[in-house]
Structure 1
Amino acid sequence: MVNHIAITKARINLGLIVKRAHLNGEYFILEKYGIPIAGIMNGNEMEDYLGINKKRVKQKYKKLSSRDKAY
């Protein structure tokens, strides 16, 4: 299911949105003034979507993943 949500509302409810994306496989399109600016989806599905086997994408993902694990 694709949900469109204002980015200000998403900021307030980020934990719930991430949980729904992770557990239920929902998609969220974040909008500012009705214009789509970003999306949230399940991390495993995003890996598949990005074609994680591509070297450049894999390197960027690895870098982001290691940075996030530090927090």
Structure 2
Amino acid sequence: MPSLVAGAVFGAAYGASAYLINSGDPATGHMCGLVSSMLLTGAMGLRFAKTGKVMPAGVMAAAGALGSIYNFQKHQEWTS
């Protein structure tokens, strides 16, 4: 149950990020995506460090890290 709730929360956060980007506020949308990705990286990175299991914790931590990099770069483009 906690995993399902967390997945729904992160899905909603990424959905809100996409909505903001598409509705004409890309800087805020990418910042929302960056915060979500950083939280995902932290949470799943801790779980990966604790369990050592690559699937799903390591994969999700890596996906969060890639999302953080992408959203940071895009946020910098829109605020510069």
TM-score by length of 1: 0.28
TM-score by length of 2: 0.27
